[in-house]
A and B are shown apart, each in its own frame.
Chain A
């Protein structure tokens, strides 16, 4: 009950800015990411039409959506000539839900997303966040189509979460995800639940383009990705997760076998002989464990992964652990204050592909508990091995019943040469986002 953290996502936003991780980013072009989904969406649409025509039994359907305008202002000149200094953008997401009358067990959901950005062609993109059929039965659920799932427990770093690819151009916190084609079977029981996934098509990570900011010095050439698998992006991945709640503990044990969502970024040349970073997607097996444990006002969280790379016969582990402490009704004001602390360790050390290899993350979330749902989030990431500090502040509130405004500031302080954030040293920013819901 404590902080109704309706927007606790923000939390992660705070710092996720960090997840920018991977090294550089690259310019890309056309080919909206959904084109690469191959036949699946098309099949899905035909399936819907088939059902609508031959099983004409709608009960309930609903269309909702959100339109958001965003302005990002950077405090310093961009590092490179080709980068635009500021940008504004327009985003829209629709959600169409259709429930079939037959036993009320079948439903269809369609969630297209679109963003247009004034500066970055790569950030102007389109995606099917969801487009799937769900059969929700007594003893099993089956989802077919493009879907989204989340695994994990911690707030700032998501080690275990691997099914959906990160939509990095949306925000560098890594919280935004691309829709993933899947066959997803869920089997619940008294002993917990098992999720089984067959993931027939790979989604490539999005990276900012040459004119965008918050990117690596060299752009990532998303047009020419390289895969370890001979099947390229058609490799069929598998995943499963067992989860259970015992008393005050929620935990999950997961396994993934397939294409790593996080590419290596290798120096290379694009078609015109310009220096770029080429994304290289390897084959991995990942075993993950996540846990949340409530102890009074304390919420303890941890995630850990053990990863094996097929090609290099290499492996490593990483873990994150921390707490969230809630001060309820702060000074009798009715406000709730959440204090968050997490520590991340990656056995690869400086070789890690993420900026989190030995970092402490501190955050606080203030829920005002007013009618406007006002919320303030603040956080700092402290790299224990370098002077790098990342600071994020975010405040949001509702206006009326259909509008929410968010103001966010991000600062990249003292990244030394060679640090993953070195290329972001000029990219301190202020972001204003106003979203209208309908």
Chain B
């Protein structure tokens, strides 16, 4: 008992969170942080949001894409999502339907409005650029905890906010563009604040910072600004989220191949 108490006191002294308390190895600590972050997002049901994607090249030239996104939470599996492009105009009305999965490849369909054609597409290559941006498909797809293994590194403040720093390793190493993702998660609300992506050669490829967190339904936090900087090619992409709404009454029927055809 004495020993238990002293462990507790030491832990408290180090102000380790409860989740980490129970864990032994750094791997278990990392996993429990990821699971806690995931648990806190459970039950959001469905959401809709508008996304403005600003692409910047080395010379500072910008181009903008407007995308509307609907998401449906799926019990015991990855989320379903539907993304519709409003600009650039030549791809207006183009839509992606994604059923993400905890295990295996996601299911993905593409709708080409000019042809009225729904096409099943290959989702195995996760490292490809999303619409010419610095975000890869694997960066914007549903971040299920099963898609990575974890390791707690240390605790350290980031811009004055106490954070856990954990490393995530893609389970599907063969098709991911990364070997590891160094991830800052704040201790208060388990929100991801920063991610460093290391490429297959293990050198730093990109840094993502997330800002403008707002809370919805008294529980769910969403970042409204995401800055992705590619250190190797000098390009960057900013995502600005607006009109974030929850519990719009979406159902499975809003995420079918037919719904792709009538999406506006």
Contacts and interface: CB of A to CB of B under 8 A. Distances in A.
Interface of A: 1-9, 64, 66, 97, 99, 107, 134, 136, 138, 141, 148-150, 152, 175, 186, 188, 193, 243, 245, 248, 250, 292, 294, 296-297, 299, 324, 326, 328-329, 332, 334, 336, 369-373, 398, 400-404, 435, 437-438
Nearest to B122: A2
Contact of A328 (B92, B115, B125): B125
Given A402-B89, A437-B90, A369 B112 contact: no
A328 B88 contact: no
A275 B22 CA distance: 90
Contacts of B130: 4
B258 interface: yes
B119 interface: yes
A429 B212 CA distance: 54
B247 interface: no
Contacts of A294: 105, 107, 120, 122
Contacts, number: 138
B128 interface: yes
Interface string B128-161: 1111110001000100000000000000000000
A5 B110 CA distance: 8
B128 A435 contact: no
The 4 closest A-B pairs by CB, nearest first: A328-B125, A437-B89, A1-B137, A369-B129
A256 B80 CA distance: 34
5 contacts: A3-B122, A245-B107, A296-B124, A329-B177, A336-B128
Chief secondary structure at chain B's binding surface? loop
A299 B107 CA distance: 12
B120 A292 contact: yes
Interface of B: 55, 57, 63-64, 87-92, 94, 105-108, 110, 112, 114-117, 119-133, 137, 141, 175, 177, 200, 253, 256-258, 262, 264
Contact of B88 (A107, A373, A438): A373
A296 to B, nearest CB: 6
Contacts of A193: 256-258
Nearest to A301: B120
Nearest to B252: A190
B122 A329 contact: no
Nearest to B123: A1
B127 A329 contact: yes
Nearest to B99: A245
A297 B175 CA distance: 10
B64 A401 contact: yes
Contact of A175 (B108, B115, B126): B115
